[in-house]
Amino acid sequence: MTSANSQSMKPATVAKKLGIYLPATPQEFQDSTITRAEFAELQSNPPEWLAELRRNGPHPRPVVAQKLNISISGLARGGVEEALTTAEITALLQAPPAWLVAERATHAAVRAEAQRVKEESAKKAAKKARQG
C-alpha cells in the first residue's frame, strides 16, 4: 500500500481538491507531482499565489457555479465556458442577465424538490422502523 500512486497526486487532482483553476497556477506547480504531505501543507499554509487565486481567480467552473448559485450545466446553458475571475462573478451578480435569473430559479427548484424527496424518504423509513 506504499506505492507511489497512493502517496502522490497529479497537479489536476490537487487543483480540483483546492478549488483552483489549474492553467492559472505557476508552471512549476503544473509540472510537478504533489505528495500528500505537500498537499496538506498547501491547505494549511497556502503560498501567496494560491491565496491570490482563491481570492481573485480565475476560478474553475464548479467554483463559478457555486458562487453564482447555479449548476455547472446552467453555466453551459448560459454560454459561460471559460473560467471567471471574482470581479466578473461579482459583475454578473450585481446585474444578472436573464439566463442567470432563470438558472438560479431552476437550481432553487431542483434543490427544493431534492429536499422534499429526502424528507419524504425519511418519513417512510421512520414509519417502517416503527412498524418493524
Give the percent of the chain with pLDDT over 70. 95
H or E stretch including 103?
A: helix 98-131
Contact criterion met (CB below 8 Å) for 51 and 19: no
Confidence of residue 6 (pLDDT cuts 50, 70, 90): low
Cα–Cα separations (whole angstroms), residue 108 to 62, 76, 89, 105, 115: 17, 17, 19, 5, 11
Higher pLDDT, 109 or 2: 109
Identify the pLDDT of residue 111.
92
Q: What's the whole-model pTM score? A: 0.75
Identify the pLDDT of residue 93.
93
In this model, does residue 5 exceed pLDDT 60? no
Confidence of residue 64 (pLDDT cuts 50, 70, 90): very high
Cell of 53: 487565486
